[in-house]
Amino acid sequence: MLEAFTLLGALAASTSTIELGVMVANVNNRTPATMAVAASTVQAIAGRRFHLGLGAGGSPESRWSAEMRAVGQAVAPTLTGRHDLVERTLDTIDLLWADDRPAAVATFPLPRPRPTVILGASGLELAALAGRRADGINVDWLHPRRDDLLAAASEAVGARHHFVRTVWMRWDEALLDPDHPTRAELAASSIRRVVLVVPAAVSTAALARPVSAGSR
């Protein structure tokens, strides 16, 4: 893939109405401060709120880490270590984007409004972390424990009122049908946003087809 934040900078400069964001930026690929500055930069260019999706990445042996293995990039060997890096990234974001941040970090860009931070989760621990620390959670619609992940996040939210529940799924033209069973299931759920992963072979004409009113 092309590098996400570079591409988003181009999209931010050439669009004016669409929302921009990353579905899940692997925290292993950028230092926490670089991640925060990248999101702040895209938002500054766009002039509208940015959605920063973060994820812990896969284990060093997984297919998700194949490119890292190929170039000798280190990946935390344990799930705990990868989750700790997510927390350190959230700590840095909170530090750099705080209204009362210390003078030592005053040279970093301060995005306003604050970008939305959403954690991609495939395990209960990260789902609970999303509920405690992030603005939302994103899970695979077809994940066998999808409802458990969403419930774990909701339980951890506590008294906070604003929390975004999103799912991702692969593009399917059949979803344009308002009577599609997945559409009905989504409408009955607490999901507020669906991220569609669109293969390169799908034409822009197919994506431009109107979706019926009331869909999300």
Lowest mean pLDDT among 50-54, 84-88, 163-167, 208-212: 208-212
Q: pLDDT tens across 85-129, in order?
A: 999 999 999 999 999 999 999 999 999 999 999 999 999 999 999
pLDDT for position 216: 40
pLDDT for position 179: 92
Q: pLDDT tens across 70-85, in order?
A: 999 999 999 999 999 9
| Two structure tokens written together for 90 | 């959230």
* Sheet with 164-170, edge to edge strand ranges: 20-26, 50-55, 116-120, 136-140, 164-170, 193-197
More confidently predicted of 214 and 135: 135
d(CA 67, CA 70): 5
Element (H, E) at 39: helix 32-46
pLDDT for position 90: 98
Paired with 22 in beta bridges are 52
pLDDT for position 210: 59
pLDDT above 90: residue 3: yes
pLDDT above 90: residue 205: no
The end-to-end CA distance of the chain, in Å, is 27
Paired with 53 in beta bridges are 118
Domains and CATH numbers, the chain: 4-172+191-200 (3.20.20.30)
Q: pLDDT tens across 18-41, in order?
A: 999 999 999 999 999 999 999 999
| Two structure tokens written together for 186 | 């989504």
Q: Quote the mean pLDDT of the chain.
A: 92
pLDDT for position 213: 43
pLDDT above 50: residue 136: yes
pLDDT band, residue 68 (cuts 50/70/90): very high
d(CA 34, CA 88): 12
Mean pLDDT value across residues 64-69 = 92
